Structure 1
Amino acid sequence: MSVAMSLGTDQILAAAEAYAVELAAKAESLDRGAVFDKEILDEGAALGFVKLIFDENLNLDLSRMPLVHDITERIASVYPPVAMELGVMRLVSYLLARYARPAVKDRWLRATIEGQAYGSFALTEPHAGTDLRGMSTVARRDGDNYILTGEKCWVGFAPVASYAIVLSKLESSERDAPTIALVVDMSSTGAVGETGPELSGFRGLSNGVLRFENVVVPAANALQVDGFAGMMDGLNMARIDAASYACGLLRAALEVSVERAATRTAFGKRIGDLPSIQIKLGRMRAAYHTARELAMRATETYMEGNGGDQDIISIAKMTASDLAREHTDQAMQIFGASGLIAYSRVERLHRDAKATQIFDGTSEIHETMLGRRLVNAFSKDGHGGSYMPSWSINQPADNITGA
């Protein structure tokens, strides 16, 4: 039984707090060196932060996803790369548990959630980012195997992955070709993981490129789901995590800004006594609570199964990341010239927040998807009401819900 399984919620949160404090002490040096810290990641796995979505028998149990958010937010508030790495470990574990055949699951699931193996979630390609249908990776059937050829980029754990869950077209590179998701052993001939370009934000994240040249993958390694549908299920989990990272950045921005406002003096008084600073802090607090509530709502829909409510998840991811970008910028403004110091906490928050607007679907694609569904719903039913909150003025307050 994992540490997480044997502890109550308060104890798990206390363990996460101690972990975050330890991580905070290393954050600047890790960011400066863009270092992948396997030791501290393995510690997070040992504490059970990946196992939280499983019961004691390693069956999926999403009831603790709100707790996952709280832990993810806290870790992201001090050093987002580790929060993301733990998130990728949960994501691939989820896909294995839900869709992999028993032999594949037996090989990789326990090893992943205990930090003994790293798995990559491979979607994006050099010339097909948001436009996944434009990908060119292809798997062709050859007897009891698939032959996989292609390239994926911006892939978590790519340089150190033991295996990768790879979205591929089947038999053809045509835009509308059917898709498949394959669990690829990265020790296979023709499979290579490489370190990618150095990033300005989320420095220290293990990220890079996967290349596949006629890699033989057993047919039994295919996930038992349409490739695109299964990976979108996983992507929805990743987007909820992305909202959690943004919440952590907002939380950190608020913490450092309040301290600065209360302790920094100018013209004989605290800068926090200036209305202009108070307005920034007030809006920052509102932004944090807004982002957190949306992230929790997205989490609740995912707990209900079927990949969650895609609209609520998009709203949460887009809003939280955009607010994180806006208010880490305001935090830098509150710090003035001190906020520009390279590798300082405020400067790191500013860089990391920008990244949340790009990965797991840019803010632009989320707003586009939301807008398109509204127009399509209106065309279908004449008012688009299925995408609006549903309530009645005659309902008691505790029965009013935003569907």
Structure 2
Amino acid sequence: MADKTYLDWPFFEDRHRELAAKLDDWAAANIKGINHEDVDAACRDLVARLASGDWLRHAAIDPADAGSKLDVRSLCLIRETLARYDGLADFSFAMQGLGSGAISLFGTDDQKDNWLPKVRSGKAIAAFALTEPQSGSDVANIALEAKRDGDDFVLNGEKTWISNGGIADFYCVFARTGEAPGAKGLSAFIVPANVPGFEIAERLHTIAPHPLARLKFTDCRIPASALMGKGGDGFKIAMSVLDVFRSTVAAAALGFARRALDETITRVQERELFGAPLFDLQMVQGHVADMALDIDASALLVYRAAWLKDSGAARVSREAAMAKLYSTDHAQTVIDKAVQIHGGDGVRSGHIVESLYREIRALRIYEGASDVQKIIIARQTLA
């Protein structure tokens, strides 16, 4: 990677710099030979590799350590680095964190003891089940129903576009328990994948393949002990988890953009046009300058949000929204320039730049689409 000077910024401590260097070395040696033809097998393999490298300890708190917490700067650095090497490696790490984030932040001691060591060791794959056919970014519109029945809850309804759907061992599921209308009537539950009444209704396929599924709950009975927090806390739990992990989506976009710039630098130095290196063209120099500018601006927004959260801010909704909006949108622009500069190779199936072009698009949609981020920023600014 050409530029690592951003690690000297005051957002980071020495432990973060050491983490970034160690992970870069580990990824260079271990994130290769991934078979993307079978994404389910690839993600299981990557979770095992990340666990063996002890990287998943950053994705979930350690229940045995009372001082353990999620460090957002570490999460962002890890996602940025993994995304630079392989999109599925980033995905596999991210979902272990996002999928278990509600347990790390709001789980009971028993829930933490039961699930988080399995997440950290790679023995259990996690999933975050929030989105529904009629409620994507509008979380308050969730319709999946969880009715209390004695010592149990009974779930009926659907979720869709659920990452790790079909390979997860458990799902953190958000459902309507009806304490109040809208957002105040939601609760969060841990649902093991093998519980009766739960099924994978459909596997979903996208331009950048990942394990995705539509989930169906039919009289799915879970014990009341599966509830996280209190009844009606679901919206607060979901927003708190996203407040931590939304900045990491921006970091993944940053990793994709850095890889695109690295590939572009190599291309313009090695490729000749009209008897001279491609980089001698002022137009190409202008593109490279724009790419470098977008990357640094994105990094500043990402690590400001992460630093602020790690510094004790209760909420960083505005800062995380800015980071996600800018970084994902501008990573798309950076990668598009890389495709253009690579010419025919840029759209050749299997080329790294072509794969980056497919990978980046979804990041502008999930965990809050770009237009929703603008609403959050505007409302926070007006407030």
After TM superposition, the score normalised by the length of structure 2 is 0.88
Whole-angstrom distance in 1 between the partners of 2:48 and 2:184: 39
**Structure 2: where are the runs of 5+ without partners?**
1-14
**In the alignment, which of 356, 369, 374 is matched to residue 362 of structure 1?**
369
CA 1:60–1:198 in structure 2 vs 1: closer, same or farther (change >3 Å)? Answer: farther
Whole-angstrom distance in 1 between the partners of 2:283 and 2:56: 42
Give the CA deviation at 1:15.
4.3
- CA deviations over 1:139-196 (Å, ceiling 9, x no partner): 1111111111111111122102221111111148964561100111221110123562
Conserved? CA contact 1:139–1:149, under 8 Å: yes
Amino acid across the alignment from 2:347: L
Q: Does 1:224 align with 2:211?
A: no
Match of 1:301 in 2: 308
Secondary structure at the aligned position of 1:139 is classed as: strand
CA 1:318–1:60 in structure 2 vs 1: closer, same or farther (change >3 Å)? Answer: farther
Q: Does 1:43 align with 2:38?
A: no
Matched ranges for 1:203-352 at <5 A: 203=209, 205-225=210-230, 226-305=233-312, 308-352=315-359
RMSD: 2.4
Conserved? CA contact 1:50–1:87, under 8 Å: no
Whole-angstrom distance in 1 between the partners of 2:290 and 2:334: 8
Match of 2:204 in 1: 197
Amino acid across the alignment from 1:211: K
Conserved? CA contact 1:90–1:113, under 8 Å: no
Whole-angstrom distance in 2 between the partners of 1:23 and 1:347: 22
CA 1:280–1:59 in structure 2 vs 1: closer, same or farther (change >3 Å)? Answer: farther
- CA deviations over 1:221-263 (Å, ceiling 9, x no partner): 1111511000111112221111111010110011001111111
**In the alignment, which of 121, 134, 147 is matched to residue 114 of structure 1?**
121
**In the alignment, which of 372, 375, 381 is matched to residue 379 of structure 2?**
372
CA 1:344–1:56 in structure 2 vs 1: closer, same or farther (change >3 Å)? Answer: same
Q: Does 1:25 align with 2:32?
A: yes
Conserved? CA contact 2:184–2:235, under 8 Å: no
Whole-angstrom distance in 2 between the partners of 1:178 and 1:56: 29
Identity of aligned residues (%): 24
Amino acid across the alignment from 2:365: I
Give the CA deviation at 1:62.
4.1
CA 1:60–1:148 in structure 2 vs 1: closer, same or farther (change >3 Å)? Answer: farther
Conserved? CA contact 1:100–1:221, under 8 Å: no
CA 1:302–1:36 in structure 2 vs 1: closer, same or farther (change >3 Å)? Answer: farther
Amino acid across the alignment from 2:147: R
- CA deviations over 1:364-388 (Å, ceiling 9, x no partner): 110122123333x2xxxxxxxxxxx
Amino acid across the alignment from 1:217: I
Matched ranges for 1:91-110 at <5 A: 91-110=98-117
Give the CA deviation at 1:356.
1.0
CA 1:370–1:337 in structure 2 vs 1: closer, same or farther (change >3 Å)? Answer: same
CA 1:12–1:304 in structure 2 vs 1: closer, same or farther (change >3 Å)? Answer: closer
Flag the structure with larger Rg: 1
Q: Does 1:135 align with 2:150?
A: no
**Structure 1: where are the runs of 5+ without partners?**
1-7, 378-403
Whole-angstrom distance in 2 between the partners of 1:297 and 1:177: 30
CA 1:373–1:69 in structure 2 vs 1: closer, same or farther (change >3 Å)? Answer: closer
Whole-angstrom distance in 1 between the partners of 2:348 and 2:287: 21
Secondary structure at the aligned position of 1:239 is classed as: helix
Conserved? CA contact 1:170–1:177, under 8 Å: no
Whole-angstrom distance in 1 between the partners of 2:357 and 2:380: 32
Give the CA deviation at 1:69.
1.8
CA 1:104–1:33 in structure 2 vs 1: closer, same or farther (change >3 Å)? Answer: closer
Whole-angstrom distance in 2 between the partners of 1:235 and 1:18: 29
CA 1:197–1:54 in structure 2 vs 1: closer, same or farther (change >3 Å)? Answer: closer
Amino acid across the alignment from 2:207: S
